[in-house]
Amino acid sequence: MVSELRSVRDITQSIQGENCEAFKAKYSEMSLLLDYIIYLHISFFLICSEKFISKENEKKKPKIEIEVSQRMSYLTLMLTHLTNSLVSIRILVERGLDIQSKQIFRSYIEYSDISIAILGSTEFYNHYKQMGESEELDKKIWFKFIRPAALTKTLKNIYSNYADDKDIWDTVQNIRNPVYQRLSDYTHGHYMAVFTSSFTEGQGSTLLGRVNENIHNTMLNTIVYSYMFLKHSMVMIVQHQKIPFLQFGDEGLAYIKYYKLLELYFPTFIKRHAPSRPNL
């Protein structure tokens, strides 16, 4: 039994090694960009955590500032899961586990949508923070605010007042809807999604992982959506929470500088890998 388990381990490690080498050969630019976006998520978490998670001197702050701090503390918690999701996706795609990375990416979209709703809608936040008080209340809040149709309505209202860009909601929808719908097929075991993801043309079964062209789309969509979240959440913090990044100190200014590097490079990346994508 032990020798059989060792054989399985050896086979698994051999396949994973082959997948890692194939991944490096095909997706080096994408992986570096995703690594950079993960770094920005970590930095975002750190500057928010330092400023808003600490309860020191909270009672001395004006009421409005306490309320903002509490809301931002929720964002910090969400950033924990968003960052861990990106790290998980990065590990899984390198090992050729595309479907599993897609399932986690769907979770990333849902968490990022809730994060934007927390920042942009006081009504949403006031109800969301009541979850956990009772099962009955949780069901009511989920149905009225968090289920996909209700959350989409909240996001539409938020984006209708987004900076000076009146077309932003259409852009968000054009990016989000087709990706989310397809990811739902993989998460809920749609027949064709299960069938097509079990094999790779010319390479056979995807058992234990297989680096193939499907990973390109997963990586691309993850990069686009996570960049969009970083960009929009920053606007929400300044516009809705009235917190200029100067208040984050030197770390906040450094974060803006590193984000701007991403913003400058991103159009070049999109032209190279997805020229038909809408302008973010």
pLDDT by residue (tens digit) across 192-221?
Answer: 667 666 666 656 677 766 778 788 889 999
For tokens 């701090």, name the residue: 69
Reported as a single tens digit per residue, the pLDDT across 145-190 is 999 999 999 999 999 888 677 789 998 999 899 899 888 888 777 7
For tokens 């989000």, name the residue: 176
Q: Is 64 exposed, middle or buried (0-12, 13-18, 19+ CB in 10 A)?
A: exposed
Asked if 198 and 205 count as a contact pair (C-beta separation under 8 A), the reply is yes
At a CB cut-off of 8 Å and minimum separation 6, what does 143 contact?
150
Asked if 224 and 280 count as a contact pair (C-beta separation under 8 A), the reply is yes
- How far is residue 81's CA from residue 186's CA, in Å, rounded to a whole number? 21
Can you read off the two tokens belonging to residue 177? 């809807």
Reported as a single tens digit per residue, the pLDDT across 78-131 is 999 999 999 999 999 998 888 899 999 999 999 999 999 999 999 999 999 998
Record the pTM: 0.87
Residues 42, 71, 68, 76: what is their CA dihedral angle, to the nearest 10 degrees? -10
